[in-house]
Structure 1
């Protein structure tokens, strides 16, 4: 996510920190590099101009030039300005006083509305809400079927009437939600390949008929300024409440994320960070600014861990770690919990100082699968007492897991090294260690 922009900004900041003293000239030179990096990331040129001017105004002040750590002061100024640019504060979804809350999704075809509808439903389920997905895209042949399949996969009901009037379908869904005690309606509306009057008129009619509590504009984060321009036109006609940026896990240059709030005045509320239905994050301007500037995002990492890690298992693991008694079954369990948190690369990028080191490194996700296969090919006795793994057992395990004996040997060496490390830490405090997956502490 935004790797190129992060890399260029980090390079600029390294040079700034290297200066013993900052002058107006080297500040101006650094700001030129920041301006170039933002423009190359497809950030709107007016937004870049205002951003750089604001940073420059604060950076050339006496407080910065006389600071003991002038480079760090500049980084803080850029961070604060970026937080402001991204919206300042976290924008939450509105909730109806009397259920159901109606959320209407709008946007162009191909922006990811239907998939996001299911992601949002799953996200709200975790918040103890009871969502209803509504298929109001009656023009795209596979849209209704796609929503039904997604709904079944997360056990969320889908209201559909087939090919009909989208305005009536949306209105009828409200009665259905009330009858079935469902408190949140997520309306998947039709899009087009480009904005046209017929589509806009239909959306305006739906808005007037059902009076949604929240209208979210769904934009493809990879389209840069095109997404911003489209958002402006939607805002003009529908006055939507917030923005959703999808496909932010791809090679998005970041222009949409950094421009859309400044241009439309509407906050970003969610972003899609992967293909799985769990890959959705509430948008936090301060956390996103930290990620962009290569500072990591520990808060989101901890939240992911809290959501996915079984606290009872974590407590038991902590006791085993204290006694250095953990075995390969514990190791396998921790690997599976890491996988629930998302891709290994996305997790590592949230750790401060690690993201920049991953630029030229290959994070092999298949290695986790290989390790899991090896451990699954062992008997319970072998997992609990790895010392009995002789040559013939290791050969059998390698054949059963589709790996080589060398792979099994390598895993056992790594496991023994980890056990030694745990013994060394046995007398130290493990408070909180059991709450994070193995190998992340």
Structure 2
């Protein structure tokens, strides 16, 4: 049994087709007012009194449903235990059969995070742990992380301790504050803490410049430009609207670009953290035909996004090359190809740069994280209640997301399989079995370490 933070129950990942009867030991229920559970999704509960106590003046949050209002809960729950779904993709990219680590398991959701900021309070976390223990879960998958505190002061630490004392293995996210040291979260010795690693799949497209230089980018856009045509290429700073400041144009922020300067062109936008999808929305708004996203720093991630127009995110070095080409070419041109899903990418797996690192900042004798699992560009179920951005109203049943939250349910699914085969094993035995039999396969060197 797996614990997350809300669910989109209509997802095919939570269909009870070919799922066995609900276990007789199950004591949970479905207290969401707007949907019913089934043999797959056997529990849905919500815990919000802590949030209410801390936010008495917040009248904008609805507490009558355990529905997923961010996509995070559906994604993680389906990764852990989602049923088989054929022809799953993100706007046609990465097409294949989606399934969780334990696809025939029964799953439940315990929603503890509320509002757009995803605030999760200790009172609600503890209440959810108590309920999960009482309901009869076997595995807790906790894709939650925050700043470490002493164990006796942390709701996660205390709740996880009581779950483990009741024979329930607790799998936790290590956090996304890497690559700095001593950033790993959920460092309790009784939990199984998961780091995120890459996979050997990527969603690549290619930028061809007017000088015939071809550069690889990443994207999840469903669009591409006609293959036989090059388009004018311009730095977004030079397409600034008269009433906008240069910094906003540099980042292609909402309302910062001019239609007359951008129409029919490919714009180069500098990545900023708020929402890269909305940069593409702004370029499309002013008539741009495509967008190339570049990084300001070499340590920035290169990640595919579900853009609304042909777009490619290139790395720092290639971004500098593109800017040099624009600045030294009278009439710079470019083309952006359609996205292709590539397999067998090397090296893989490697630890994601965002994945939090040890050692533990509470007690350096506790070695964390315990293990790594796939956590970059993971395709799984998503909430169709969630638009892709403030200015992008598209919905999608599946999404590629990155984070230790995505890595955690991979391990939770494995823990569920082990528990099914060895129901008498303790949480410590399951944790030991996973950690001591995990193999890091170096694809480049073809050796096992």
Query: Is the TM value for this pair above 0.5?
Result: no
**Higher RCO, Cα 8 Å, sep 6+:** 2
Query: Normalising by the residue count of structure 1, what TM-score does the alignment of the two structures yield?
Result: 0.29
Task: Name the structure where strand makes up a greater proportion of residues.
Answer: 2
Task: Name the structure where helix makes up a greater proportion of residues.
Answer: 1
